[in-house]
Each structure stands twice: as structure tokens, then as C-alpha cells.
Amino acid sequence: MTPHEYLSQLLRRQELSDAQLRTLQATREEIEGWLRGRYGSVPRFYYAGSYGKGTMIGEAYDLDLVIYFPASERQSLADLFWGVHRRLGEGGYRVVPRTVALRLPCDR
């Protein structure tokens, strides 16, 4: 077996199942829907991290979402950050603030 074949085989074994992928997609839809209830269609949501790049592995994965507010947004960045934090908390999510992100542990 060549090194390339070995690596390809290893990566195939780390692919997420369809059920796991559907769970991630449903989680994004749920979070996005909850935030749209507060912010409407103003922000844009994107997959980021390993899911967004297509490099996610089954052994250890998480879901990274990026929310872009337009440059015309009048709220300060801090107000947006804490507003999203508050809104997610209202939705029953356990929200852990980080320096530049909000972490939502999946044990909600």
C-alpha cells in the first residue's frame, strides 16, 4: 500500500455519516432561525472551520458558523456580540463567551 492509498483509506474511515451531517445542518438551521427571529434577514450566515472547508473528521469535530452583519449596521461590535449572546441564551442555549466567538456546547 502506498502512502497515498493509506492516507486515502484513513480519511474515508473518518467521513461523517449522513445522519451526523444532517444533525449538523439541522443545528445550523435551528441557530440561524432563532437569531433571524431577532435580527431578520440582515446578517448572513456561513459554515466555517473544517465543515466549511470540507476537512471535517469523524473522530473529533465541531460546527463553526460565522455571522456577517453589514457594514451599515449601527450597533457596535460589542453590542452585536452581547446581543447574539443574549438571544441564544433566551433560546435555551448554554453560551460560553470567548475572545472573538461564542461557544455553544452541544450538551444543551
Helix (H) or strand (E) holding 91: none
What size, in residues, is the chain?
108
Query: Rounded CA gap, 3 and 68, in Å?
Result: 40
More confident position, 107 or 87? 87
pLDDT confidence bin for 108, thresholds 50/70/90: very low
Helix (H) or strand (E) holding 13: helix 3-13
Query: Rounded CA gap, 4 and 68, in Å?
Result: 38
pLDDT digits (tens, 9 = 90+) for 8-67: 999 899 999 999 999 999 999 999 999 999 999 889 999 999 999 999 999 988 899 999
pTM of the model: 0.82
pLDDT digits (tens, 9 = 90+) for 78-99: 999 999 999 999 999 999 999 9
At residue 47, the pLDDT reads 95
At residue 106, the pLDDT reads 76
At residue 105, the pLDDT reads 86
Write out the three cell numbers for 1.
Answer: 500500500
- Inter-CA distances, 35 with 4, 9, 38, 96, Å: 43, 39, 5, 16
* CATH superfamily of this structure's domain 3-103: Beta Polymerase, domain 2 (3.30.460.10)
| pLDDT at 107 exceeding the cut of 60 | no
Which residue in the block uniquely carries the three cell numbers 461557544? 103
